[in-house]
């Protein structure tokens, strides 16, 4: 790993594509583009990039709206047409490519299809799979898991559960569970069943 920031749009794109969710890819790309190769010499590229970053940031934070898709589409097409150099036009092409996946529209409906944007997901324990071993209690540094470890000949346990208010969605409990009883679900679904 190096501290040197990529300066070529293709390199930033390659780094962005290491993420799963197209919205996260686009946010990463545009943030790095603004911090590096974007020189500010022409209006459609500079203003478009700043505007896109604000919209994408809101989307990742769970504040996606349908009109954002139109705005991003308009920004990308203005950048493609009006950018003075390859860097701006590349950026527009990448944005269009990510927009075309359809995942942006799903975010506007409250769903991250890749289940990677923290604002759109919840961690939950599948009670039917949980053997009450208590491994997840040790793994969670945030005190977000409640439950009592099962002991022989004693009944009336508090079942294991994850409390939303304390969960920071770090994901560390998942590999700790030997039963694969902890899963990532859509936050919308969690709301529906009151997880």
Q: Does 92 bind ligand SF4 (CB under 6 A)?
A: no
Cβ distance to ligand SF4 smaller for residue 69 or 184: 184
Contact 85, 76 (CB under 8 A): no
Q: How far apart are the first and last CA of the chain?
A: 39
What's the token pair of residue 35? 């911090």
Neighbours of 28 (CB within 10 A): 20
Q: How far is CA 76 from CA 87, 101, 106, 181, in A?
A: 13, 15, 19, 42
Q: Is 76 in the site for ligand SF4 (CB under 6 A)?
A: no
Say whether residue 167 binds ligand SF4 (CB under 6 A): yes
> Binding ligand SF4 by CB under 6 A: which of 34, 133, 185, 195?
133
Question: What are the percentages of helix, strand and coil residues in the chain, rounded to 5?
Answer: 50, 5, 45
> Of 87, 95, 111, 118, which one interacts with ligand SF4 (CB under 6 A)?
87
Structure-block tokens of residue 70: 């139109």
Among 64, 95, 99, 177, binds ligand SF4 (CB under 6 A): 177
- Choose which of 6, 22, 88, 113 interacts with ligand SF4 (CB under 6 A): 88
**Ranges within 46-65 binding ligand SF4 (CB under 6 A):** 46
Rg of the chain on CA atoms, in Å: 21
Helix (H, G, I), strand (E, B) or coil at 146: strand
Residue 80 touches ligand SF4, criterion: CB under 6 A = no
Residues that bind ligand SF4 (CB under 6 A): 37-42, 45-46, 83-85, 87-88, 123, 125, 130-136, 139-140, 142, 144-145, 160, 162, 167-173, 176-177, 179, 181-182
């Amino acid at each position: 790993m190096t501290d040197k920031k990529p300066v070529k749009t293709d390199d930033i794109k390659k780094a962005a594509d290491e993420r799963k969710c197209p919205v996260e890819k686009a946010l990463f790309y545009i943030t790095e583009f603004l911090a590096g190769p974007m020189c500010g010499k022409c209006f459609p590229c500079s203003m478009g990039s700043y505007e896109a970053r604000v919209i994408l940031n809101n989307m990742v934070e769970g504040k996606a709206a349908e009109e954002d898709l139109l705005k991003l589409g308009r920004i990308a097409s203005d950048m493609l047409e009006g950018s003075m150099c390859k860097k701006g036009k590349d950026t527009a092409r990448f944005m269009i490519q990510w927009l075309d996946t359809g995942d942006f529209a799903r975010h506007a409906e409250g769903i991250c299809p890749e289940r990677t944007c923290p604002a759109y997901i919840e961690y939950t324990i599948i009670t039917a799979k949980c053997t009450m071993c208590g491994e997840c209690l040790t793994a969670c540094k945030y005190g977000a898991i409640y439950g009592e470890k099962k002991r022989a000949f004693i009944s009336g346990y508090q079942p294991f559960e994850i409390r939303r208010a304390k969960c920071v969605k770090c994901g560390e409990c998942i590999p700790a569970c030997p039963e694969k009883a902890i899963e990532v679900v859509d936050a919308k679904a969690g709301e529906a069943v009151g997880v």
